[in-house]
Amino acid sequence: MRISQQVSSHDERIVLLHFEGDLNASDCEATSKIFQEIIDSKKYFIVALMENVTFVSSPFLGELMGCKLRLVEKGGNMVIVGLNYDLRERLIQMGADKIFQFYPDTHTAYNHYHWEYTQTAQVVTITLPPKLQSVPAVRRFIAGIAKQKGYTARDSFRIETIVDEIANNAIEHGDSTQPEISVELRIDRKKFELLVRNKTLMDKANQLKYVLEANKETAQTGDTRGRGLALVKLISNSINVSIDKSGTEVKITKMREDS
């Protein structure tokens, strides 16, 4: 085994550990010492680079698990990057995927680190022509992102419902000459924000504001339409509408249920 370490140029709280060759039981002691030195230097995030590793013995895997436990106790983590297909399959058979996250490259591992530990929101902006037929694709795209980022199926379904309603409203009640509508998603570990911007005729925009602020539904008994915003209010945490001459912006915030 060969092992070398460097502090990440991306973030000095992260240490990159390059492993090479066979990781045998006889290498545990030396590795344990390196891990302890890293922890003593108050660096609690380790990216284990294993592109050039050919074998991982079960005692060595146990050593990695022990180190991960010590890091987690300090609020840190260790992830594994660059495993080849065969080794990855073997580690999965040994149950290591229940303990460690495996990433194909350091870039993805850094993304994970930012998502988990820096609470930075990720932003996705979509512009689309005002076509109602495009809305299903948009709502599924955004719900798919929520799922990919670890939101539950129930949260994702509710997000899909919110996107569908707000995007449909923006198109259906927007200015018929508007060239596009804009949908912006800000997502972090704890909450999801949706901003939909469009051009709206002022009387329709004021009607929308009235519905939201007066906490009333537009639907009268027997009407088949007009319950969408009431539903969105039920399943989200806040709705804000701002209207000016440049257009209408609806902002919805939904907290993650299991956060």
Partner 1 sequence: MDSQPKMPSGYSVKLPSDLEYIPPLRQFVAEIARVEGFSKKFCFRTEIIVDELVTNGILHGSQDVHSEITLEARFEEGTMNLSVQDQGGTRQNLENLKRAVYSPKPPSNDKKKGRGLVIVQMLSSEIKIDLGENGQTQVHVVKTKDPDDSQAQKEKLLYESDL
Interface positions with partner 1 (CB under 8 A): 10, 104-105, 107-108, 110-111, 114, 122-129, 131, 133-134, 136-138, 140-142, 144-145, 147-149, 180
Kindly compute the dihedral angle of the four CA atoms of residues 59, 60, 61, 67, in this order, to the nearest 10 degrees: 110
**Cα angle 162, 255, 139; round to 5:** 25
Phi, psi (deg, nearest 5) at residue 17 = -110, 115
Looking at the Cβ atoms of 31 and 77, the one nearer to partner 1 is 77
The rounded distance, in Å, linking the Cα atoms of 48 and 207 is 57
Position 151, amino acid: Y
* Closest separation in Å from C-beta 143 to partner 1: 8
CB of 149 or CB of 209, closer to partner 1: 149
Cβ proximity to partner 1, 9 vs 93, nearer residue: 9
Name the residue nearer to partner 1 (CB basis): 31 or 161.
161
* Amino acid letter, 1: M
Secondary structure (3-state) at 149: coil
Strands of 14-23's sheet in order across: 2-7, 14-23, 45-56, 77-81, 102-103
Phi/psi at 191 (nearest 5 deg)?
-150, 165
CB of 123 to partner 1, least distance (A): 7
Report, in Å, the least distance between residue 36 CB and partner 1. Answer: 28
Nearer to partner 1, 141 or 157 (CB): 141
Smallest separation (angstroms) from partner 1 to the CB of 14: 11
Identity of the residue, 84 or 237, whose beta carbon is nearer to partner 1 in the bound complex: 84
> Least distance in Å: CB of 204 to partner 1?
20
CB of 134 to partner 1, least distance (A): 6
Tell me what percent of the chain is helix, strand and coil, each rounded to the nearest 5: 45, 30, 25
Partners of 52 in beta bridges = 20
